[in-house]
């Protein structure tokens, strides 16, 4: 794998330039900008419908400096399949405008709605077919583009406009779909979680994903100031807390001889080695309005305990898989 250094990355021109109309503090642009810093050459981007798509391409303006296509909400992986098949066909036939490049990389961006829910079938199909592309999930844990509705990626207890914290029901009653495990279960050659609070880790994983032949999946948490209800300047802090509390551990998973091999990334490995450094989930929750009902009007010990236990269990399972 070619080396990725912060110095080089800082010098590399941006593929996603200024002018995007995402909200202040939106993590999606931060993640995407870092992902695009780590590309290795000619790249084509496919984008699902969502905040990221609408805000970066309001006609006649565009923030994109790489070839980019948006088709619909649920089909970003299918569109990528077509782009990738074109690259293959032109190279095989030795004719057509993409035949001249030794390599053209395909990157797909989609939100949690476009991944966990409506786009799940197309994603599963594209991975099963083995297309050589990198899928980047920008997970802000709800349908933010339509105004904060619950998705399969919304965590337990979070209040959204379709899972409100009411007098009887306190936020989302179901747990977050284990998307990484589902994608790993497909036999995906490379799956990793990424966090914009650790840019070098993010970019190194991105480059690795791009370099791996076949489908690869990068799952990024994308804190949303509007939907999670926190001040926009807190984005990176909240992103970092998600990993420090093991709500969103950082890891990689490759396939070796048909078996998934998990590796914890440095920030999470440090916690595994020094369990007392693991922060309690409430330091993550109390920063966000979507979890306010955990604390107000009264502190809901039972709810906090239930959530902490489920996080502890999932963390433990991951540590076991990673052999730490």
Partner 1 sequence: MVAKQKMTGLNGDEASAYATKQVDPDVVAAYPITPQTIIVEKYSEYVADGLVGSEFVAVESEHSALSACVGASAAGARAFTATAANGLALMWEILFIAAGLRLPIVMAVANRCIGGPINIHNDHSDAMGARDTGWIQIFCENNQEVYDTSVEAWRIAEHPDVQMPVMVNFDGFTISHTMENVYIMEDADVKKFVGKRVYMMTEGTKGEAEYRLNPDCPLTIGPLDLQDFYFEHKVQQMEAMKGTLKAIKAVDKEFEKVTGRKLEYVYPYKMDDAEVAVIGMGSVMGTVREVVDELRTEGVKAGMIKLRLFRPFPVEEILKAIGKVPVLGVMEKAYSIGGPGAPLYMEVKTALYDQPKKPLVADYINGLGGKDTSPEMIRDIFKRLQAIKEKGAVAEPVSYIGVRE
Binding site for partner 1 (CB under 8 A): 42-44, 46, 53-54, 57-60, 62, 64-72, 74-75, 77-83, 85-90, 92-93, 95-98, 101, 104, 121-122, 124-126, 128-129
In angstroms, what CA-CA distances link 164 with 45, 293, 310?
35, 10, 21
φ and ψ of 215, to 5 deg: -75, 140
In angstroms, give the least distance from the CB of 220 to partner 1: 22
CA 48 from centroid of its chain's CA atoms = 13
Pick 210 or 238: Cβ nearer partner 1: 210
In angstroms, give the least distance from the CB of 87 to partner 1: 7
Pick 16 or 322: Cβ nearer partner 1: 16
Tokens of 111: 């939100």
Tokens of 165: 């914290």
In angstroms, give the least distance from the CB of 252 to partner 1: 27
Pick 2 or 59: Cβ nearer partner 1: 59
Residue with tokens 């990725």: 4
Pick 106 or 192: Cβ nearer partner 1: 106
In angstroms, give the least distance from the CB of 46 to partner 1: 6
Distance between CA atoms of residues 107 and 47, nearest Å? 8
Pick 80 or 281: Cβ nearer partner 1: 80
Are residues 140 and 27 in contact, defined by beta-carbon separation less than 8 angstroms? yes
Task: Indicate left, alpha or beta for 94 from its phi (over 0: left) and psi (-120 to 50: alpha).
Answer: left
In angstroms, give the least distance from the CB of 186 to partner 1: 12
Distance between CA atoms of residues 22 and 34, nearest Å? 16
CA-wise closest residue to 252 among 229, 296, 297, 219: 219
Pick 66 or 200: Cβ nearer partner 1: 66
In angstroms, give the least distance from the CB of 215 to partner 1: 13
Cα-based angle 11, 192, 67 (whole degrees, multiple of 5):
50
């Amino acid at each position: 794998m070619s080396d990725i250094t912060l110095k080089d990355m800082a010098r590399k021109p941006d593929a996603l330039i200024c002018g995007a109309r995402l909200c202040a503090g939106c993590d999606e642009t931060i993640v995407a900008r870092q992902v695009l810093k780590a590309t290795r050459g000619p790249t084509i981007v496919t984008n699902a419908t969502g905040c990221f798509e609408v805000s970066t391409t309001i006609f006649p303006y565009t923030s994109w400096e790489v070839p980019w296509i948006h088709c619909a909400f649920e089909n970003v992986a299918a569109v990528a399949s077509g782009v990738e098949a074109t690259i293959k066909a032109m190279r095989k036939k030795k004719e057509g405008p993409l035949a001249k490049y030794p390599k053209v990389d395909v990157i797909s961006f989609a939100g949690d709605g476009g991944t966990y829910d409506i786009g799940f079938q197309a994603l599963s199909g594209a991975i099963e077919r083995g297309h050589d592309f990198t899928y980047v999930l920008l997970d802000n844990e709800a349908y933010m583009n339509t105004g904060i509705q619950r998705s399969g990626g919304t965590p337990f207890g979070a209040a959204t406009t379709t899972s409100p914290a009411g007098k009887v029901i306190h936020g989302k009653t179901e747990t977050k779909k284990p998307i990484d495990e589902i994608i790993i279960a497909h036999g995906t050659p490379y799956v990793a979680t990424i966090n914009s609070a650790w840019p070098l880790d993010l970019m190194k994983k991105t480059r690795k994903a791009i370099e791996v032949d076949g489908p690869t999946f990068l799952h990024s948490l994308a804190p949303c100031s509007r939907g999670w209800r926190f001040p926009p300047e807190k984005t990176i802090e909240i992103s970092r807390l998600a990993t420090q509390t093991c709500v969103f551990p950082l890891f990689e998973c490759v396939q070796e001889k048909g078996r998934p091999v998990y590796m914890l990334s440095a920030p999470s490995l440090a916690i595994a080695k020094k369990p007392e450094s693991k922060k309690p989930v409430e330091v993550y929750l109390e920063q966000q309005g979507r979890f306010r009902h955990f604390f107000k009007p009264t502190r809901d010990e039972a709810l906090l305990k239930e959530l902490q236990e489920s996080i502890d269990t999932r963390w433990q399972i991951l540590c076991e898989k990673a052999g730490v």
